[in-house]
Each structure stands twice: as C-alpha cells, then as structure tokens.
A and B are shown apart, each in its own frame.
Chain A
Amino acid sequence: MRFEIKGLGQGYGDRTVLEDVSLSAESGEFITVLGPNGSGKSTLIRTICNVMSPRQGSLEIDGRAVGGMDRKELARIVSYVPQTCASFGYTTVFETVLMGRRPYSEWSYSEDDIRKAIDAMKVMSVDGLHDRYVSNLSGGQMQRVFIARSLAQDPEFYLFDEPTSSLDLKFQLESMNIMRSMVKERGSCLIVALHDLNLALRFSDKVLVLKDSHVYDFGPVSEVITPRMIAEVYGVRADIVENERGRYIQPYDYIGTVPCDL
C-alpha cells in the first residue's frame, strides 16, 4: 500500500505548525520524522492518521482520500500511538490491548480478537502484566502496553509518536528491533517521530526532517542525517563515526544559545 501526503498544512488557532509538507510512504518502509522541539513532528503524525483534519493539502492511501474513508476501515489500515496516552480508572493491560481490536468488532470481542491481543501482549512482553491496571504501571511499561494495543490493531501503517521516550536502554533497542521486524517480516510501514538521532540512523530506511514548519529534507537515512543537517536543524556540531558495528552520531558542541521560545 502507498500513503501519499501532498502540500499538507496544519496549525492551532492562528499559529501555523506545518506548511507544504509532502512525503510518500510504502509498505515495507521504516520512516523516521526528526526535528527540534516544536517543529511539528507530533502534529504531522496526528494529521497523517486523521486524528486532526488537515487545513491544506491531501492525504491519500492507494489513491483514495483518507478523509472520505469509513472510520473503521481507516482504523484497520492506520494505527497511532501518541506521545502520552490516557488510561481511566480500573482498566487492565489485557483490556487496553484488546481495544486495538475495536475496529474489527462490534459490542463484544471474538476469540480471534482475544488471541490477537494475547499475541500482541507477548510480542511486547507485557503478558505478565495482563491483570495490572494500566494507571498503576511505570511510564515505560505503559508505553509497551500502548505499542501492544497498536500491534493488536494489525494495520498496514503504524504511526508512533516518540514510542521509546519512556523506555530504558534495553527496551528502546528491543522495541526498535520489534518495529524493524514488523517492517521487514510483515511488510508493514512505520512512520515514527523520534528525538534520538542514533536510533533513527540505526533503524530507519528514510528520514523526514522538519524545521520551521517546513520539510528540511526527506530521503534515505544515509543522505539526510549528516553533520551539516545536525548543525543547521539542531544547532549542534557533531561527527558521524563509523566502526564495524555501524554509524553513530557524536555531538561535541552547540552553536550559539538555545532559543528561549522553544
């Protein structure tokens, strides 16, 4: 499947957050969205999954306008994990993950839905927490639960907003590996907003960089993540070091002062 985004514009009130953003994503691609704080990464992810209606531009999946699609049909194609998720009251991990099957069910869940939720819990290693209330979990455990819910949704396109921000180092790598295998083994497409440039460098196929509401660059990871991009977008001087294990970003200085209006 192919997701085509053309000339996207988005904002809140009078404030423009995104202007003329275009990108295309296909099944089997891992795309990372990068950019400094406030550059519009989260807004882009929310707009792509139709949680926010775009002010300008078009969103199409295989030539069909996203806005014209049935809500449940779209929910079977695109799943979304926000940066921070809510959980109200006494909702268990199992019940939360099972919500991912809502687009496939009516009032009750079938045994197939329950088994798919169990599989998703096992993939994200939260099956041992199945009877815990989500509101009692740590930030990292919650993040794994919400990714598991997204897996249970079984879509073609996964949209994750900072999915590793609350995870410890081991779970960051494990989660990114799981996401990578979803792309390579299941042929899904991932669009992930990240702050960690090293994770982006290691796991992405393509990178979209946002700066000042516009697309700074979009293309293969090796061409986009460069010392020049890091300096111009983040205001940080960095080297990209290469050894037998891969390529790493090594920041060593920042340029000027950190803007106070971020």
Chain B
Amino acid sequence: MENNVGGEVSRPGAEELVKVYAGWSRKRLVFLLSMSLGVAVVSVLALCVGAVDVPLADTVSVLFRGLMPGLIAEPSNPHYATIITEMRAPRIVLTVLTGVSLGIAGMVMQGLLRNPLVSPFTLGVSTASSFGAAMSIVFGTALFGTAYYTSFSILGMTFSFSSFSTVMMSFVFGLCSIAIVLFLTRDSNVSRSTVILSGVIISYIFQAGIMFAKYASDDDQLREIALWMMGGLSNVTWSTIVIVLPVVLVCGIYLEKLSSDINVLSSGDDVARNLGIDVRKLRNRGLVFSTLITTVCIAFTGIIGFIGLMAPHICRMLIGNDSRYLLPASALMGAAILLISDTFSRVVMRPEELPVGIIMYIIGGIFFIWLVCGKKLGDRA
C-alpha cells in the first residue's frame, strides 16, 4: 500500500483519494476471497492424501454426491466414504478451526497490546493449558480414582474419562491463566507492558508445575505429556467438532465486532479513550474471548505454537493493519498454515505420523524468512 518512502509526493485530488480508499478495501476483499478459496482447495486435497490415497474424483464424489446424486457417480471403492467422512473430514475441520482460532487470537492479542511479539504463548495461556493436561495425565488416577479408566456416553457419543479429564483440565487452566493476568492488572492505570509481563510470569509459574508433573511421572506418562505438548490432530471425531465449532464461531464473530475499536487502539490508549473507546473493557473482553477461542482448540489438539504469532504478522505485511480485514485474513492464514503442515505430517512418513508442530515450524519459518528477506516490506501491502 505504501509507496515513495522518500520525500514529499504529489498531492492527489479528493476524488482520487476516495478511489484509493475504495481500492484498498477491494484489494483486501480479493485477498480474503483468494485465501478462502485456497483453504477450501487445500482442504479437499488434504482429504485425498494420507496412509491410503483417495483419488480426487472419488473424494469429490463422497463430498458432493449427497447434494447432486444424479450428476455425480458413486465412489469407486465403498470404503472411501468411511475414510473421508469418519476419519479425515473431522480431523481437517478441527485443523481449520484450530488454525482459525490461533490466527484470530494472535491478531487480537497483538492489536490489544500493540506488540507484534504477543501470542497465546506470551500471555501464559498455552503453558497453563499444558499444565492442566500434565496434571490430568500424571495425577488423574489420584484425583478421580478408578473412574479415570472408565468411559461414558453423551448424545450417543462415547468418551473415555481420561481424555475428557485432560481436555477439561487443559481448558480450565488455560482460562485460569488469563483470569490471573486480568486480576494482577485490574488497576485501571496499569500499562500494557505490565499485562505482557504478568503473562510471562504466569507462564514461568505454570512451567514449574509442568516440570514437577514430569518429575513425578512414569515413562508412559512422560511420553504422553511430551506428545501432548508437541500438538497433534489425530483421533478426532465429529463430537469434538460439535464442541469446538460453536465456540469458535461465537468468539470469532464477537472479536470481529471489536475489530474497529482495536484499530483505534493502535494509536495509543489515550487517543482511543478520547475517540470514545472504553480501553479497559475492550482489552479485558478481547483477551478473555481470544483466550477462550484458543483454549477450546488446544485442549483437544495439544500445544500448537507459531500460528498465533506468525499468521497475523504475515497478513499485516500483505494487507496492512486494518483489523476488520486483518482478523479474517489471520484466521484464514492460520488455517492454511496448519492444514498444509498437518497434511505433510500425515504423508511424510506414512503410514506413521509426525507431530504437526515439527512440520509447521519448518514450513512457517521458511515462509516467514522468505517474506522478510524477499523484497522491501512496504511494497507488499
């Protein structure tokens, strides 16, 4: 968007400037549409590959035959429908939802605290969630007795109590971290640096708890904690989606509603207050909802880092800082990065799977280096 970083430039007329602004909005909408299309295409391709490859035509047939039964032929193998609808589709939907959530949460936290290095990790959310999961894995039996090894059914879906306990403990402790940060920074005059510092301190305290849990664990528990903290998207069922989807939708829409106020906050707290924004309320609500959208996903997937930091960063370079567009762009970018990483993690050593974090850090890191070192950053927007 920016050009001529040097001296003064010619002064355009008012009509020309109206067109310039409309052009920016159009460009951003085109970017969002392209990203949506890209995520949709990658999702379909991700459905095709895995331990068993499903031909694209058969994948399309499984997905759309229900809508147009007369026009689309049946899949060539009857097992393809089960592989796609019961095994891969829920995983890919959760991957997209997790990428969306982490992209949104990172963007909102960075905007609210005017710091591009802030992410759910910085504010202690991820560490607190890990602590909850580690507690459940190591002390589940002590806490819940023999019930820890049982299963139960809700709405026809069966859950093992141990998995349920890990998800719930991770979710609750993730939310606890932001509650503690907000409690420590409840004074209305507290600076945003204090908010970030509180998050970092909370993170260290929970880190100590994780170390203790690891110290107290046996070999199997230690491996389970390590795998949880590497993040993974296997063993996903539609019941997970039923829980995650509504939370992501509600939080995402609410945070998009706040995006215009987050824009104003980029000019500083005092200016935002003068422009009619209740800064404290905005910051608290934004942090609570972005924590909620993060924890509901990582409770099921384990720790997935990087996206919350990088997706908003990459999008900011591409379409600028207008939060109204940056939020959906970060969501889609997060979904795209995680989807590509997860697909690689499934195929690179098939039939084995690598933890998604390993692939994601490599792909995302290389892409970010290319973006930073490519051309003059200002020319990209």
Contact = CB atoms under 8 A, between A and B. Distances in A.
Is B one of A's binding partners? yes
A50 B259 CA distance: 23
Interface residues of B, number: 43
Interface in A128-183: 128-133, 136, 146, 149, 153
A92 interface: yes
A140 to B, nearest CB: 12
B316 A46 contact: no
Interface in B258-300: 259-261, 263-264, 266-268, 270-271, 273-278
Nearest to A127: B11
B172 interface: no
Contacts of B11: 122, 125, 127-128
B8 A90 contact: no
B17 A91 contact: no
Interface stretch (B131-139, B317-325, B330-338, B363-371): B317-325
Interface residues of A, number: 51
Interface string A96-117: 1011101101111001001100
A221 interface: no
A42 B278 CA distance: 21
A118 interface: yes
B146 interface: no
B51 interface: no
A87 B267 contact: yes
A131 B21 CA distance: 9
B334 to A, nearest CB: 18
A228 interface: no
Given A49-B274, A74-B276, A87-B267, A118 B9 contact: no
Contacts of B266: 86-89, 91
B70 interface: no
B270 A51 contact: yes
A80 interface: yes
B186 interface: no
Contacts of A131: 1-3, 20
A95 interface: yes
Contacts of A72: 276
Interface in A38-61: 46, 49-51
A260 interface: no
A86 B114 contact: yes
A122 B5 CA distance: 19
A105 B260 CA distance: 10
Contacts of A133: 2, 378
A2 B1 CA distance: 43
Nearest to A130: B17
A185 B3 CA distance: 35
Nearest to B22: A114
A95 B320 contact: yes
A134 to B, nearest CB: 9
A132 B267 contact: no
Contacts of B260: 102, 105-108
A103 B275 contact: yes
A66 to B, nearest CB: 12
Nearest to B9: A128
Contacts of A149: 267, 271
Nearest to A99: B264
Given A100-B275, A136-B5, A128 B270 contact: no
Contacts of A218: none
8 contacts: A80-B271, A92-B1, A92-B320, A94-B20, A100-B275, A130-B20, A132-B4, A149-B271
The 10 closest A-B pairs by CB, nearest first: A75-B276, A86-B268, A88-B266, A72-B276, A80-B274, A71-B276, A128-B11, A90-B321, A91-B321, A89-B321
